[in-house]
Amino acid sequence: MHLDHTHDGPAALGADARRPDGTRRALRIGLGGPVGSGKTATVAALCRALREELSLAVVTNDIYTREDAEFLLRHAVLPPERITAVETGACPHTAIRDDISANLEAVEDLEDETGPLDLVLVESGGDNLTATFSKGLVDAQIFVIDVAGGDDIPRKGGPGVTTADLLVVNKTDLAPYVGSDLGRMAADAEAQRGGLPVVFQSLRSETGVADVAAWVRARLAAWTA
């Protein structure tokens, strides 16, 4: 018995770039980060920014409710059949990193039922600074922190801050009120991340999610190239 992956099976198993019918699957981008940092708000803004030019869908991983999925539904950022909530048994980091089977099912079902898709955004429920996505689930990950969580978070590092493909420092509009030093956050982030990109954004500002949307477009261009 040979124990390597077989690619000729009836349904996809993991992260293979090709679906069983030979077509390229959607790019999968994960969004993780601490509770309340603005992951759902970023997902919603990305959907609004990209939905005219791309076919997209969202998977949410809530801790004990369907709040994130319901927020996206209520604000009608996408049609309901393009939003799926995965239940995580109180452990979002398990569902996005250690045991990704439910999330893989969700992204594949979305693609089967509403596809073809260009992009699937997978939001993790708010977790701690060590929560990262498995490479078996997503192709790239965005780690979202905010200025109100303390301007020492970039300095503290942790797998999310140091290794995410994109670090987003959100809610810059609040910096003056919480006494966060954006210059120091930027310097610490750069030191921790060795050249990986960082975006400072306020979803309350004119620019909003534009920088993150541009980064997503670039990833997508690389994926389909």
Partner 1 sequence: MSRAALLVLADGRFPAGGHAHSGGAEEAVKAGRVTDAASLADFCRGRLHTTGLVSASLAAAAAAGTDPAALDAAADARTPSPALRTAARRLGRQLLRAARATWPGAELDALARRFPKGAHQPVVLGLVARAAGLGPLDAAYCAAYESVSGPATATVRLLSLDPFDATAVLARLAPELDRVADRAVEAARRVADEGVDALPAASAPLLETGAQAHAGWPVRLFAS
Binding residues for partner 1 (CB under 8 A)? 1-6, 9-11, 13-14, 63-66, 87-91, 94-95, 98-102, 104-105
User: Which of the listed partners (Mg ion, ligand GTP, partner 1, none) does 93 bind, with a CB threshold of 5 to 8 Å by partner kind?
Assistant: none
Task: Provide the 10 A C-beta neighbour count for residue 54.
Answer: 17
Nearer to ligand GTP, 101 or 128 (CB): 128
| Strands 166-170, 140-146: pairing kind | parallel
Contact window for Mg ion (CB under 5 A) among 67-75, 109-117, 151-159, 203-211:
67-75
Contact window for ligand GTP (CB under 6 A) among 35-43, 94-102, 157-165, 217-225:
35-43
Cβ 215 vs Cβ 166: under 8 Å: yes
Q: How far is the CB of 56 from partner 1 (least distance, A)?
A: 24
Fill in the per-residue mask, 8 to 47: x = in contact with Mg ion (CB under 5 A), - = not in contact: -------------------------------xx-------
DSSP string, 77-137: SS-GGGEEEEE-TT-HHIIIII--HHHHHHHHHHHHHH---SEEEEEEPSB-TT----TTT
